[in-house]
Amino acid sequence: MSNTASLKNVYKEQIAPALMKQFNYSTPMQIPVLKKIVVNQGLGMATADRKIIEVASNEMALITGQKPVTTVSKKDISNFHLRKKMPIGVMVTLRRDRMYEFLERLIRVALPRIRDFKGIEGKLDGHGNYTLGIQEQIIFPEINLDNIEKILGMNITFVTSAKTDEEGYALLKAFGLPFKESKK
């Protein structure tokens, strides 16, 4: 299987043994793994223009290589001109090889294209998971700048099997996510 993502092989050969040694795990089943990556775009302005959902869906498919699911509202909110079951966003859940390929493209190509990039914040959610907010979808090379109608942001959530933030941080740092150096 020569087409597997190189990050998957790096995890098996280098990251997992290093984490086992660092945290003194008694069994390889305790080593944290990256379970999935969820890419989400909330499009509140889609209540006024339904074409935005279609454009965002096409861009998300280009970025992730997988068809996104349209998310809908759960209830009516009159102040936002929102009705129940109205489309308000798109999301993709990446697992296995696609997840590793997306992570590799994010780390090696997309994040370095951010203007004045000095690293990402290292704040995890308390359970070893991390959410990265991106303001512009144009950092991904798959997006053609000539066809952009509106700059849209997205949230990228890394879901791990880590029990603590320290384990999750060590796992994501080992994959190569460029965290800012904390002042401890």
Please tell me what DSSP assigns to residue 86: -
pLDDT at 76 exceeding the cut of 70:
no
Lowest mean pLDDT among 24-28, 126-130, 134-138: 134-138
pLDDT at 172 exceeding the cut of 50:
yes
The larger pLDDT score, comparing residue 127 to residue 93, is at 93
Please report, rounded to a whole number, the percentage of residues in the chain having pLDDT higher than 90. Answer: 2
Secondary structure, 3-state, 87-122: EEEEEEEECHHHHHHHHHHHHHHHHHHCCCCCCECC
Residue 1's pLDDT band (cuts 50, 70, 90): very low
Rounded average pLDDT over 61-70: 86
The larger pLDDT score, comparing residue 76 to residue 70, is at 70
Distance of CA 179 to the CA centre of its chain: 14
Q: If DSSP codes are grouped into helix, strand and coil, which group holds residue 81?
A: coil
Dihedral, 173, 171, 115, 155 alpha carbons, nearest 10:
-160
Rounded average pLDDT over 106-125: 78
Distance (Å, rounded) from C-alpha 38 to C-alpha 157? 5
Distance (Å, rounded) from C-alpha 130 to C-alpha 36? 11
Give the tens place of pLDDT for each residue, 12-65: 888 888 888 888 888 888 888 888 999 988 776 655 667 777 887 888 888 888
The larger pLDDT score, comparing residue 183 to residue 152, is at 152
